[in-house]
Amino acid sequence: MTQLPAYEQLPAAQGVARQKKALRAAGLVLAAGVLLTGLLGWNVWRNARTALEQQFALAANERVDRVRERLLLQRSELESIQRFFENSNEVSREEFEHFVSPLLGDALGYAWLPRIEHGGRAVFEAQVQASGMLDYQLHELGPQGDPVPAQVRERYFPVLYGASEYLQELPLGLDLGSTLPGRELTQRVLIGRQLTASMPVVLPGAPVADAAGVLLAAPFYRGGVTTAAGEEGRGGLLGILVAAISYRLLIEQGMDADSLAQLALTLRDSAEEQPDPPMYRSAVMAAPDSGLVAERHLDFAGRDYLVRIEPSRDFLQRNEGHPQLWVVLGGLLTSLLLAGYVLALLGQRQRALQLVAERTAELRANQLELQENQARLHFAMDSAGHGVWDWNLDLGKVFYSHAWKAMLGFRAAEIGASPDECARRVHPDDRTARSEALQRHLCGETSLYQSEHRLRCKSGRWLWVLDRGQVVERSGEGSPRRMIGTQTDISSRKAVELELGEVNNRLHGLLDAATQVAIVSTDLRGFVRSCNVGAERLFGYSAREVLGRPVPENIFVKEEILRRAHDLSIALGREIRGFEVVGALVGEGHEEHEWTCVRRDGRQLKINLIITGVRDSSGVLTGYLGIATDITRRKEAELELRRLSVTDALTGVHNRRYFKEQLELSMARCSRSGEPLALVMFDVDHFKDINDRFGHEAGDTVLITLCQRVSQRLRKVDVFCRLGGEELVVLCPGSSVEQAAQLAEALWQALRSQPVEGVGVVTASFGVVGWRLGETADDLLRKVDRAVYRAKRSGRDRLERDDG
> CA-to-CA distance for 472 and 483, rounded, in angstroms?
6
DSSP H stretches of helix in 628-695: 632-645, 656-673, 687-694
pLDDT digits (tens, 9 = 90+) for 104-132: 877 888 999 999 998 888 889 888 888 88
Q: Same domain, yes or no, for 244 and 298?
A: no
Contacts of 132 (CB under 8 A, 6+ apart): none
Report the number of distinct structural domains present in the chain.
Answer: 6
Q: Same domain, yes or no, for 795 and 679?
A: yes
Q: Same domain, yes or no, for 395 and 357?
A: no
Measured between alpha carbons, how far is residue 434 from residues 391, 429, 620 in Å?
Answer: 16, 10, 41
Q: Which of 187-201, 545-559, 715-729, 770-784 has the lowest mean pLDDT?
A: 545-559
Q: What is the structure's pLDDT at 239?
A: 92
Domain of 227: which CATH number?
3.30.450.350
Instruction: Specify if 500 maps to a domain.
Output: no
Helix axes 323-347, 349-365, angle to 10 degrees: 100
Residues of the chain above pLDDT 90, percent: 10
Q: What is the structure's pLDDT at 512?
A: 60
Residue 247: Cβ-neighbour burial (10 angstroms; 0-12, 13-18, 19+)? buried
Instruction: Specify if 177 maps to a domain.
Output: yes
Q: Same domain, yes or no, for 201 and 286?
A: no
Q: Same domain, yes or no, for 358 and 379?
A: no
Contact 559, 595 (CB under 8 A): no
Element (H, E) at 352: helix 349-365
Q: Find the mean pLDDT for residues 665-676.
A: 89
Measured between alpha carbons, how far is residue 604 from residues 531, 540, 545, 565, 634 in Å?
Answer: 20, 11, 20, 21, 14
pLDDT digits (tens, 9 = 90+) for 411-442: 888 888 888 888 888 999 999 999 999 999 98
Instruction: Specify if 504 maps to a domain.
Output: no
Backbone φ and ψ of 528, nearest 5°: -75, 125
Q: Same domain, yes or no, for 102 and 224?
A: yes
Kindly state the DSSP code that residue 609 receives in the 8-state scheme: E
Q: Same domain, yes or no, for 653 and 565?
A: no
**Which has more pLDDT, 145 or 63?**
63
Radius of gyration of the chain measured on its C-alpha atoms = 44
Contact 31, 38 (CB under 8 A): no
Q: At residue 6, does pLDDT exceed 50?
A: no
Helix axes 367-383, 349-365, angle to 10 degrees: 80
Q: What is the structure's pLDDT at 480?
A: 92
Residue 8 CA neighbour count, 13 Å, CB half: 5
**Average predicted confidence (pLDDT) for the chain:** 82
> CA-to-CA distance for 510 and 530, rounded, in angstroms?
14
Q: Same domain, yes or no, for 550 and 583?
A: yes
Instruction: Specify if 508 maps to a domain.
Output: no
> CA-to-CA distance for 655 and 767, rounded, in angstroms?
19
Looking at 340, 365, 390, which one is the last position of a domain? Answer: 365
Assign 679 a pLDDT band (cuts: 50, 70, 90). Answer: very high
> CA-to-CA distance for 450 and 464, rounded, in angstroms?
13
Q: Same domain, yes or no, for 300 and 403?
A: no
Q: What is the structure's pLDDT at 51?
A: 85
Q: At residue 378, does pLDDT exceed 80?
A: no
Instruction: Specify if 124 maps to a domain.
Output: yes
Q: Residue 244: which of 146, 156, 163 has the closest Cα? A: 163
Domain of 408: which CATH number?
3.30.450.20
Contact 182, 214 (CB under 8 A): no
Q: What is the structure's pLDDT at 621?
A: 83
Q: Which residues are registered as beta bridge partners of 480? A: 474
Q: At residue 2, does pLDDT exceed 50?
A: no
Looking at 458, 493, 528, which one is the last position of a domain? Answer: 493
Assign 217 a pLDDT band (cuts: 50, 70, 90). Answer: very high
How many C-beta atoms surround the C-beta of residue 57 within 10 A? 13
**Which has more pLDDT, 10 or 389?**
389
> CA-to-CA distance for 167 and 203, rounded, in angstroms?
9
Structural domain span for residue 604? 514-637
Which of 136-150, 498-512, 565-579 has the largest mean confidence? 136-150
Instruction: Specify if 82 maps to a domain.
Output: no
> CA-to-CA distance for 613 and 592, rounded, in angstroms?
12
Q: At residue 4, does pLDDT exceed 80?
A: no
Three-state DSSP string of 491-530: HHHHHHHHHHHHHHHHHHHHHHHCCCEEEEEEECCCEEEE
Q: Which of 189-203, 283-297, 341-355, 688-702 has the lowest mean pLDDT?
A: 341-355
> CA-to-CA distance for 88 and 94, rounded, in angstroms?
13
Q: What is the structure's pLDDT at 275?
A: 57
Q: Same domain, yes or no, for 204 and 120?
A: yes
Instruction: Specify if 278 maps to a domain.
Output: yes
Q: What is the structure's pLDDT at 8?
A: 42
Q: How far is CA 554 from the centre of its chain?
A: 32
pTM, 2 dp: 0.41
> CA-to-CA distance for 529 and 546, rounded, in angstroms?
9
Reduced DSSP (H G I as helix, E B as strand, rest coil) percent helix, strand, coil of the chain, to 5? 45, 25, 30
**Which has more pLDDT, 585 or 536?**
536
Q: Same domain, yes or no, for 548 and 688?
A: no
Q: Same domain, yes or no, for 52 and 143?
A: no
> CA-to-CA distance for 377 and 665, rounded, in angstroms?
91
Looking at 493, 528, 544, which one is the last position of a domain? Answer: 493
> CA-to-CA distance for 582 and 592, rounded, in angstroms?
10
Q: What is the structure's pLDDT at 506?
A: 66
Q: At residue 769, does pLDDT exceed 70?
A: yes
The full DSSP string for 52-109 is HHHHHHHHHHHHHHHHHHHHHHHHHHHHHHHHHHHT-S---HHHHHHHHGGGTTSSSE
Three-state DSSP string of 713-744: CCCCCCEEEEEECCEEEEEEECCCHHHHHHHH
> CA-to-CA distance for 159 and 431, rounded, in angstroms?
78
Contact 398, 416 (CB under 8 A): no
Task: Quote the strand ranges of 734-798, DSSP E.
Answer: 764-770
pLDDT digits (tens, 9 = 90+) for 261-304: 888 888 888 776 655 678 788 888 888 887 888 888 888 888 88
Q: At residue 605, does pLDDT exceed 80?
A: yes
Backbone φ and ψ of 14, nearest 5°: -65, -35
Contact 267, 144 (CB under 8 A): no
Instruction: Specify if 468 maps to a domain.
Output: yes
Q: Find the mean pLDDT for residues 319-327.
A: 76
Q: Please name the amino acid found at residue 151.
A: Q
Sign of CA dihedral 246, 251, 254, 260: negative
> CA-to-CA distance for 633 and 606, rounded, in angstroms?
8
